[in-house]
């Protein structure tokens, strides 16, 4: 059987890994395959102007980072290895709840601290670990404990909350996402076509029969018995539109975590750079419902913004179960017009205000200890907080849901009304869960590959 996978990010690479020995698989990636060993910048840097899709949120004008490179978002992200709460998947429905996803999460993972637990993996390609904590991480954790939050050694233990080290997919403090962990297992087992843009899926009536690509050798077609679209929450709707697949649900239901930075100055810049990424994380309920979670974590401002002072220290806060929805709509050139819609509902804005005030209390506690200095004009001190939140809100870069299950695909990931066409990426998430989509999308790729194998009798 000939299978074409259009997109080499987390979903596409893991599906290719699962299917490589069962079918004739061609994996197509618009960006480059940086090779093995992975170049230093793809392991450690946080700015990739040559490996980005250059998307913009039309609501705010802010740039939206999406990796145009083998490994997709996991090649350019902060390498968070968090799964989220089981409750975050309750609304996903039959076949896609926590107990259904857990085998995939375990299959892709080697957890270096907790791999012996039944809810973790100990032999998968993606290594998950917790890094040592800097003095600032320890001070943040102490302020969190003083505010009544418990210690949390494993943020991926089901049902846990509190403060503790980030779970991260890093090795020697470098990213260990799909590019570093999975691509070496796929090369040589599939036909890998990098630097090749999928212009469209070729359709004969309602059946997908291949793809048309534009690569270093020009425009060509590749025939297939099954096409798997894996372009991500922004790229997959665009690919479907270019292919003449124009279901009304495509691009609707866009979800992302609203995120805000509260910038202060550390007493000692050496403390900031003792651990610039993947340090301390606080997860807690906004109010009485623990499933309505917010996250807080501090990091070096300079790492992401080279105009910031080296003592800059950002304490960021995100709302993890937002109600607001955005969209990606079809532009004149089939380029998506993205509107994230952050804090569009009053409920989201009010709950984010609660989370910001709780975070401000933690910052004040650290300031009282002389660990950080809070600017006199700190924006979060305003008495009219909601308009300020809506003006400043940014993206956590966790877009999902633009081709959701039961709206654009069925529960076997088939595009509705078509044959031979599936989607395996974060665009199919029915609802955003309370963590970044990094690991869950990898698990979806693994499970989706298994669905293909079962459906096709491979």
Contact between residue 291 and residue 285 where contact means Cβ atoms under 8 Å apart: yes
pLDDT score of 245: 97
- Looking at residue 188, what is its pLDDT? 95
Domains annotated for the chain, with CATH where assigned, are 2-48+66-126+179-253+399-456 (3.50.50.60), 132-165+258-319+343-392 (3.30.410.40)
Query: What's the confidence (pLDDT) of residue 168?
Result: 95
The average pLDDT across 375-393 equals 96
Residue 293 has pLDDT above 80, yes or no: yes
Predicted local confidence at residue 45, as pLDDT: 83
Please give the annotated binding residues for FAD, written as ranges.
69, 198
pTM of the model: 0.97
Percent of the chain with pLDDT over 70: 100
Are 42 and 179 in contact by the 8 Å Cβ rule? The answer is yes
**pLDDT reading at 49 higher than 80:** no
Q: Is the pLDDT assigned to residue 180 strictly greater than 80?
A: yes
Q: 205's torsion region: left (phi>0), alpha (psi -120 to 50) or beta?
A: left
Model confidence at 416: pLDDT above 80 = yes
What is the pLDDT at residue 288? 82
- Packing angle between helix 10-19 and helix 438-456, nearest 10 degrees? 40
Supply the pLDDT for residue 425: 98
* DSSP run (H or E) holding 200: strand 197-204
pLDDT score recorded for residue 274: 84
Angle separating helix axes 438-456 and 98-108, nearest 10 degrees? 100
Average pLDDT over the chain, rounded to whole?
95
Closest CA to 212 of 200, 203, 223: 200
CA–CA dist 274, 139 (Å, integer):
13
Compute CA distances 280 → 139, 151, 299, 380, 385, whole Å.
Answer: 10, 11, 9, 22, 26
Mean pLDDT confidence for 121-133: 96
pLDDT at 135 over 80: yes
Q: Which residues are annotated as a binding site for substrate?
A: 396
**Which residues in 440-456 are b (16+ Cβ under 10 Å) and which e?**
bbbbbbbbbbbbbbeee
Tokens 């849901």 belong to residue:
401
3-state class of 2 per DSSP?
Answer: strand
Tens of pLDDT along 224-246? 999 999 999 999 999 999 999 99
- Summarised one tens digit per residue, pLDDT across range 338-376 is 999 999 999 999 999 999 999 999 999 999 999 999 999
Summarised one tens digit per residue, pLDDT across range 303-323 is 888 899 999 999 999 999 999
Helices 346-368 and 135-146 pack at an angle, to 10 degrees, of: 110
How many residues are there in the chain? 458
List, as residue ranges, the binding site. 69, 198, 396
Q: Does position 113 have pLDDT exceeding 90, yes or no?
A: yes
Confidence band (pLDDT; 50, 70, 90) for 172? Answer: confident
pLDDT band of 273, cuts 50, 70, 90? confident
pLDDT of residue 116: 97
> What pLDDT shows up at residue 446?
98
- In this prediction, residue 44 has a pLDDT band, given cuts at 50, 70 and 90, of confident
């Amino acid at each position: 059987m000939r299978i074409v996978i259009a997109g080499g990010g987390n979903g596409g690479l893991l599906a290719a890994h699962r299917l490589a020995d069962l079918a004739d698989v061609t994996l197509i990636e618009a960006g480059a395959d940086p090779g093995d060993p992975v170049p230093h910048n793809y392991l450690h840097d946080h700015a990739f102007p040559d490996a980005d899709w250059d998307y913009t949120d039309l609501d705010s004008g802010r740039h939206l980072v999406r990796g145009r490179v083998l490994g997709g978002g996991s090649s350019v992200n902060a390498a968070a290895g968090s799964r989220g709460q089981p409750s975050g998947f309750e609304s996903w429905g039959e076949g896609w709840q926590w107990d259904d996803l857990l085998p995939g999460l375990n299959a892709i993972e080697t957890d270096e601290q907790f791999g012996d637990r039944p809810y973790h993996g100990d032999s998968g390609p993606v290594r998950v670990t917790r890094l040592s904590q800097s003095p600032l991480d320890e001070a943040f954790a102490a302020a969190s404990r003083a505010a009544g939050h418990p210690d949390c050694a494993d943020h991926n233990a089901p049902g846990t909350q509190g403060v503790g080290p980030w779970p991260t997919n890093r090795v020697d403090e470098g990213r260990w996402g799909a590019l570093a962990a999975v691509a070496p297992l796929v090369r040589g087992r599939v036909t890998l076509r990098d630097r090749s843009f999928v212009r469209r899926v070729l359709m004969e009536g309602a059946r997908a029969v291949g793809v048309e690509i534009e690569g270093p050798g020009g425009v060509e077609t590749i025939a297939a018995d099954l096409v798997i679209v894996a372009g991500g929450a922004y790229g997959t709707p665009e690919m479907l539109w270019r292919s003449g697949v124009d279901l009304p649900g495509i691009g609707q239901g866009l979800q992302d975590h609203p995120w805000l930075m509260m910038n202060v100055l550390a007493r000692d810049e050496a403390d900031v750079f003792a651990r610039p990424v993947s340090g301390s994380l606080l997860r807690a309920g906004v109010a009485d419902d623990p499933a309505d979670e917010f996250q807080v974590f501090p990091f070096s401002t300079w790492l992401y913004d080279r105009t910031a002072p080296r003592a800059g220290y950002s304490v960021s806060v995100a709302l993890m179960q937002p109600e607001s929805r955005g969209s990606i709509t079809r532009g004149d050139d089939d380029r998506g017009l993205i509107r994230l819609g952050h804090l569009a509902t009053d409920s989201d804005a009010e709950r984010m205000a609660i989370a910001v005030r709780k975070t401000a209390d933690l910052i004040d506690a650290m300031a009282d200890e002389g660990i950080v200095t809070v600017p006199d004009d700190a924006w979060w001190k305003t008495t009219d907080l909601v308009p300020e939140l809506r003006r400043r809100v940014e993206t956590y870069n966790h877009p999902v849901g633009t081709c959701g299950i039961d709206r654009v695909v069925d529960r076997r990931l088939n595009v509705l009304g078509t044959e031979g066409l599936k989607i395996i990426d974060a665009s199919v998430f029915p609802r955003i869960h309370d963590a970044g989509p990094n690991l869950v999308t990898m698990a979806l790729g693994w499970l989706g590959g298994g669905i293909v194998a079962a459906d096709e009798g491979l």
